[in-house]
Structures are given as structure tokens and as C-alpha cells.
Amino acid sequence: MMTKDLQSFIRFLSVERGLSRNTLESYERDLQQFVDYLQQQGITAWKDTGKTHIAGYLSQMKMLGRASATLSRNMVSIRALYQYLVKERVMDSDPSIYVDAPKLEKKLPKVLSIGEVEKLLDAPQPEHVSGARDKAMLELLYATGIRVSELISLNVTDINLQMGFIRCIGKADKERNIPLSSIAIRCLTTYIHNYRMKLLKKTADEEALFIGHLGTRMTRQGFWKILKKYANEMNIANEITPHALRHSFAAHLIENGADLRSVQEMLGHSDISSTQMYVQVTKLKMKEVYNLAHPRAKL
């Protein structure tokens, strides 16, 4: 019965909330683990669960070494499920409101140095088909700070090379126009006019801007493999993540005097507090430079 209610909740999220397949799978995975835990405790009905069971489950996950971000995500899933169960009259009240959410560790984003960015952007060989594409992708990411998911969602019609900007659809379908650097325009022009058609295999009317090895739209996994390959080739010491160039774009702009509101708009952040973390990054770098360079810093 508990599993049946869980499946009803997942259908509700799909139909009523219109959540993506990845998000639905995340909810289902988290909550199935919670159901498994409850059944191990001899619980067979939701009405028999309470705050002690939720707290016990989170405690067990913590003992298993789960990260605080994982615990927090699980708590969000559990609360959403209980709200649904109360709404559907499966339960009279929501016990999750009496359980404190795990505190998230605030980690500053990993930012590449300007030298590391230059090494990464110079790694592809633009005289080859895949190299021209990779060069255009990396230059575009660093020029605009868009997310990888936004990069691979771009269509050819989203690029205005004459005006020098891209049209990007971000989270919650919010549209933003972001200017392009002159080098990004040159690399995109070369890729689109000389190489993109050579990557197409199945259909010439593919709308996607960036084409993967199968001749269709580049995937997130495909881009991630490309990024790691160039990072390894260039022996970049900093840890590379899919958002490495986005974080570096924002930090370098602020470091060089860009105002916070403009950076927030380009990144597509709904809350400026999300953008302010890059100020912390630049302050941390400033302190490191001071400690290394000032003759009396370590006296």
C-alpha cells in the first residue's frame, strides 16, 4: 500500500506539476529508499509513521556517510510526499513539519584562474571538425556564463552573430539575452558556416546548435567527456566541473569590476544572494594573494 501511494505521488508530480523525467526519478529514488527503511522497521502503513521514523531515517543516512546536500534533498522529497498524503486524506497530519531540515554546508564554487581558462580554451584544434565545435562551445560558455544544460539546448536560431548576442531560455522558462565576446563570435561563425553540417548524419534539418558524435543534439554527458578530456590534456590542476566556466565567468567579471546586478542578470539568478557567493570567491583570492605577496603578512 505504501509503494502504491508513492507511485500515485510520482504520477501527481508528473501530471500536475509537470516535472522533468530526471526530477521525477530523483524523487522516486529518494522516497523508495525511505519506504524500504520504514518497512525494515515493520511499518506497513503511512498512518503509522511519525517524526521519529523520519529522524531515524536521516540519522541512518548520515551514519552511512551521505552528504548534507543529499540529506537535505531527501528531506525535501519526504516533506513533499507527506503534504500530498495529507491532501489525499491518507494521513490526518504531516509529521515532517516537526523534523528540522539538515543544515547545508556552504561551499564556494571552484573557479579556474585566468591562466587555466586560457589553457582550456586553447586546447581544441579548430582546424578539425570536432575541434572547431569544441572551441566554439568552450568560448561560448566562458563568454556568457550560461549553464551546460542551456548550452546544449541552444538552437541555431538562438544565435545572432550580426548583433553579437545569444537568446537563452533558463530555469522556469525565463528568457535572457546575453552579449558575446568577439572571439566567441569568430569561433561560432567558423563552426556554423564551415563545420556544423559535417557533423550532421541523420537529418539536415536538425535545429540544435551543437551536434554530438551521433549526428544529433549534443548531450550533457557528451559535453562533460569533452571538457574532462581537454582538462586532462592541459594538466589543469584545479578540479573541473561542468559549471567550471560558468563559475569562472562570474568570478572574473566581478574581480574586474562588473556590478553584481549585471552579473546576476547574465547568469539568470532569480535571487542576488546566489550571485553574491562570487564576491566571497574574489575576496578569498584577494586574501591568498595578500598572504603570499605582502612582506609582513606572515610575521
Sign of CA dihedral 220, 221, 226, 229: positive
Q: Provide the grid cell at 232.
A: 586532462
Q: Which residues contact 146 (CB under 8 A, 6 or more apart)?
A: 140, 166, 168, 170, 178, 246, 268
Of the candidates 27, 57, 142, 147, the residue annotated as catalytic is 147
Of the candidates 133, 135, 246, 252, the residue annotated as catalytic is 246
Q: Provide the grid cell at 189.
A: 561563425
Q: Long-range contacts for 205-210 (Cβ within 8 Å, ≥24 apart)?
A: 207/155, 207/156, 207/157, 208/152, 208/154, 208/155, 208/156, 209/154, 209/155, 209/156, 209/158, 209/159, 210/133, 210/136, 210/137, 210/151, 210/152, 210/154
Of the candidates 135, 196, 247, 269, the residue annotated as catalytic is 269
Q: Which of 289, 223, 282 is nearest to 250 (CA)?
A: 282
Of the candidates 53, 66, 243, 285, the residue annotated as catalytic is 243
**Annotated catalytic, 246?**
yes
Q: Which of 78, 66, 96, 97 is nearest to 29 (CA)?
A: 78
Of the candidates 171, 228, 229, 287, the residue annotated as catalytic is 171
**Annotated catalytic, 193?**
no
**Annotated catalytic, 243?**
yes
**Annotated catalytic, 82?**
no
**Annotated catalytic, 135?**
no
**Annotated catalytic, 66?**
no
Q: What are the beta bridge partners of residue 128?
A: none
Q: Provide the grid cell at 78.
A: 519526504
The residues carrying an active-site annotation are 147, 171, 243, 246, 269, 278
